Homo-oligomer: A and B are copies of this chain.
Amino acid sequence: MSLLSRIIGLLQVDSTVGDLAGNAQRIEHLAKQASKNGAQLAVGTELSVCGYPPRDLLLQPDFITTSFATAKSLNVEIPVLVGTPIPAEQERNLPANGVVRAGTLNASPNGDKTNRVVAKKQLLPSYDVFDETRYFSPTNRSGICRSIGGIELGVTICEDAWQAAGLTPSTYGQDPIASLAEWGRQGVALDATVNLSASPYHADKVSSRIKVCRTAAQILQHPFLLANQVGGNDDLLFDGCSLVAWPDGQVVVAPAWQEGVLLVDLDQPSNCRWLAMDSSDALCVGTDEIKFLGSSLEGHEESSAILEDITDAVITGLTDYCRKSGITRIVLGLSGGIDSAVAACVACAAVGPSNVLGIAMPSRFSSQHSLDDAQYTAEALGMEFKIEAIDDMHSTLESKIGGVLTAGNPVALENIQSRLRGIIVMAHANAENRMAIATGNKSELAQGYCTLYGDMAGGYTPLGDLYKMQVYALAEIFNHRAVQDGSTPPVNNSTLTKPPSAELAPDQKDEDSLPPYEVLDEILRLHIEQTKDADDIVDAGYSREMVVDVLTRLERNEHKRWQMSPAPRVTSKAFGQGWRRPLASKHDWRD
């Protein structure tokens, strides 16, 4: 072991998909901070130069070559391992998802040359939100980078490390961690292995990553360092939480939801430090504390800490969606109910209260307390607020097509109110260059208890992956944070305590159509996240009639979920598969 300290900077970058020049600048800036603070070398995240997931941009050959050239020409003072697509060597082959060694200085005479490709991804995930076999070709060679900043490194990319920990849904024909261990047994002495990741967030995902890194460090018998992307790209969120594990089980974890550098001292866990990104547009949500875990500590969060983390996740999602899409102003319908109150809290946190407009749109079925609660929330948050009653238009429409409406399915009558509100919200969005946000939650979307082209209208659904009871929990968190800041709690007590109602018919309550949300949420969670079928859920203690009703509504309303605008992914499983259009023609094969 060298007498000098051996310091590696893990660059936790908030890459924007497609913004090659901007991403390069962020990487260069973070590498400079790492260098100034004593790092011999730095490690970026998976595909950091083009942002993850680049999807169909990868079908443009220019995009591959331009990303690769950008990665190789980074202007950095220490060697930096950068994730980038690598052009295929042969025609009609797919590119690789790889790593380039950038940086012109410090290349040791015996070490790897600057600009060399040092690794290509071996395990390409194609499940859940991942689609990598569509775009990339895998390799079967281990990534190794010799004498970089005086350090011998194994180099892996995200999924490469997950099979060894048993955390992939199916097995691959090779194991990169086992291969590196075999190299070690053959006499190739490595000081550490790094992993460039773009590992998406869901609640408590960090405990899986800790397992991955501890397993690899234990197998390899040297420190295992994982640099993870941070920020949001559409509905994929990356929490950062870059981390390092030592063979004895010690772990250091960087903050979530912040761009910056985790300075890792390979020989002294307690010397690890966090350097926050200092540029004005840097993502900076949540706290900047790093976590030190002894070998016996699991890293699992308490549920209260998980809810705080989900709150930050939801804020990050909308913040980055707006920043990366050039959206500066938001409009939403503010009904006085819990969903729109919490959505307003998120919107104000994302773009600032002065850029958010809430519109209350009472019909004859709306109660005064709803209007009061909406106004209370708007005032507490300091956002713009207006009232546009829809009663006259509602009546005009009823008198016009009343015959059709009253003779048919009663839902038609309810939906016209929601759609009139959609028109008003969208008119403000179009006229004032705002993005409309939809305020729905996962529980109601799962049941189709929402209106296509009505309350589902909008470019983003901040609460769309939260169950209803989680929305209540977030309300409490926003209230608590406000109190700590000396502000007025934004969600009124009556909003928190009144029975949920769509207010689309006289004295309507959600519970007239749905099970109580405490129960509904649990049934949905068992089915969606734990893939339990009706029999399993009945065995868990729910009535068969209720379970069948819930699951039937879930099937029948697939088309609505398809039309949902992006929602930050915060639960461990989205409906079916996030990216695939459901088949309307899908029969129930169990009939």
Q: Residues of A at under 8 Å CB distance from B?
A: 16-22, 50-51, 53, 55-57, 59, 62-63, 66-67, 92-94, 126-127, 131, 133-134, 137, 169-171, 232-235, 320-321, 324-325, 388, 392-393, 396-397, 400-401, 404-405, 407-409, 411-413, 415-416, 419-420, 422-424, 426-428, 430-433, 452-453, 457, 459, 533, 559, 563, 565-566, 576-577, 579-591
Task: Check A589–B66 contact: CB distance below 8 A.
Answer: yes
Q: How far is the CA of A426 from the CA of B460 in the complex (A)?
A: 23
* B residues near A413, Cβ cutoff 8 Å: 431
Task: Check B408–A419 contact: CB distance below 8 A.
Answer: no
A-B contact pairs, 13 of them (CB 8 A): A18-B585, A18-B586, A93-B170, A234-B584, A393-B396, A396-B396, A412-B430, A412-B431, A420-B423, A422-B453, A423-B453, A566-B581, A579-B579
Task: Check B411–A388 contact: CB distance below 8 A.
Answer: no
Among B92, B321, B589, the residue within 8 A (CB) of A50 is B589
Task: Check A94–B170 contact: CB distance below 8 A.
Answer: yes
Task: Check B430–A409 contact: CB distance below 8 A.
Answer: yes
Task: Check B401–A424 contact: CB distance below 8 A.
Answer: yes
Q: Please, which residue of chain B has its CB at the minimum distance from the CB of A323?
A: B585
Q: How far is the CA of A131 from the CA of B127 in the complex (A)?
A: 10
If the complex has contacts A56-B576, A133-B133, A587-B18, are A431 and B408 also in contact, measured as CB distance less than 8 A? yes
Task: Check A583–B18 contact: CB distance below 8 A.
Answer: yes
If the complex has contacts A396-B392, A419-B426, A426-B419, are A580 and B55 also in contact, measured as CB distance less than 8 A? yes
Tell which of A51, A431, A566 has the most Cβ of chain B within 10 Å.
Answer: A431
Give, as a whole number of angstroms, the nearest-CB distance from A294 to chain B. Answer: 32
Number of identical protomers = 2
* B residues near A427, Cβ cutoff 8 Å: 397, 401, 404-405, 412, 415-416
* B residues near A586, Cβ cutoff 8 Å: 17-18, 57
Give, as a whole number of angstroms, the nearest-CB distance from A63 to chain B. Answer: 6
If the complex has contacts A409-B433, A430-B408, are A233 and B131 also in contact, measured as CB distance less than 8 A? no
Q: How far is the CA of A419 from the CA of B590 in the complex (A)?
A: 39
Among B235, B401, B589, the residue within 8 A (CB) of A388 is B401
Task: Check A59–B583 contact: CB distance below 8 A.
Answer: no
* B residues near A430, Cβ cutoff 8 Å: 408-409, 411-412, 415
Task: Check A585–B324 contact: CB distance below 8 A.
Answer: yes
